[in-house]
Structure 1
Amino acid sequence: MRLPTAATTAGSLIGGWQLARRTGNRPLGGVVLAVGGVLAGREWARRTSPAVTAALAATYVGAFGLSHPLAKRIGAWPSVLSTAAFTAAASYAAADRRAPRRATRPSG
């Protein structure tokens, strides 16, 4: 079964933040973030090259880091949603999107 990395990355960024916010336990939110990163990373490694996998992992971690200063400027929800959407879009474009299948005709 193909795991949609776009949903995994966005969901773990949003879910980790919400869990940390609601419980007051930041490390617990970090666990959600780490699990999402590992799951997505395994799929990226299976579907893409090592360079693309590294770039997507950097995007995921960078989005988490960027969400903190961005939240001071635009608010927590807009920040988390923006960075999650950006990460999901990158994951979809680089790993999840399938090229359309072309019908082949026998030559002859």
Structure 2
Amino acid sequence: MKPAKDVNTAAVTAVGLIGGWLTARESGIRPLGGVLLGIAGGWAARTWYVRHGLGTAAGLSALYLAAFGASHPLAKRIGAWPSVLAVTAVVTGTAHLVSDAERE
């Protein structure tokens, strides 16, 4: 496993949100998608904690979970794919700006 300081959290959160949704949808096993969502979220949170401390890790983790929750009612309005892509854009953009951009 990569050292926490070297992880691209924007990419990891994208895998968690899009991959978790796709896994649940294609397998028909919603908890399986939740497992992927949780693993990716934990991996990203580990990096946020190492780079910036508990406050940033908690804030970005809360955003990640809120995006997951918001994608469900949003999907009823705009459709599943657009909803997942929209919340993923918010989370990955924020993760990049807050945590990943400084590595470049």
TM-score by length of 1: 0.89
Regions of 4+ moved over 6 Å: none
Summarize the alignment of residues 1-108 of structure 1 with structure 2, pairs less than 5 Å apart: 1=2, 2-98=6-102
Percent identity over paired residues: 49
Output the CA distance in 2 between the equivalents of 1:87 and 1:18.
17
Output the CA distance in 1 between the equivalents of 2:84 and 2:15.
10
RMSD (Å), alpha carbons: 1.2
Output the CA distance in 2 between the equivalents of 1:95 and 1:46.
10
**Cα deviations across residues 19-75 of structure 1 (Å, max 9, x unaligned)?**
000010000000000000110000000111321111100000000000000000000
Output the CA distance in 2 between the equivalents of 1:98 and 1:57.
19
> Between Structure 1 and Structure 2, whose CA radius of gyration is higher?
1
Output the CA distance in 2 between the equivalents of 1:34 and 1:94.
21
Structure 1 residue ranges without an equivalent (≥5): 101-108
Amino acid at match of 2:63: T
Output the CA distance in 1 between the equivalents of 2:94 and 2:58.
12
Output the CA distance in 1 between the equivalents of 2:72 and 2:31.
15
Q: Select between 41-50 and 64-73 the one with higher mean Cα deviation.
A: 41-50
TM-score by length of 2: 0.92
How many residue pairs were aligned? 100
Output the CA distance in 1 between the equivalents of 2:29 and 2:73.
20
